[in-house]
Amino acid sequence: MMAMENPQMVTAEAVEAMEFPELADKHGVHGVPHTSINHGLEHVVGAVPEPNLLAAIQRVISLN
């Protein structure tokens, strides 16, 4: 949703973990959905409310 609202700042990709187990293993995916932010600097597992996802993104931004 966020990538659709602001495609210049947010990109998103969906990968079927059961079809690409090597990719799931590489990124430590054990639950679905699993959101990896900035190549694994932060992870959100499960369907969480948008404020929780935003908080995770803000934590990554504050690292820079």
36/21 Cα distance (integer angstroms): 16
Backbone angles phi, psi at 35, to 5 degrees: -105, 120
Report the chain (64 residues): mean pLDDT per 10 consecutive residues: 67 84 86 85 90 90 81
pLDDT number for residue 6: 67
15/44 Cα distance (integer angstroms): 15
pLDDT number for residue 21: 92
pLDDT number for residue 44: 92
Q: Is the pTM of this model over 0.75?
A: no
**DSSP letter string, 5-46:** H-TTT-------TTT-HHHHHHTT--SSSEEEETTTTEEEES
pLDDT number for residue 2: 66
Domain assignments of the chain as residue spans, ordered by start: 15-63
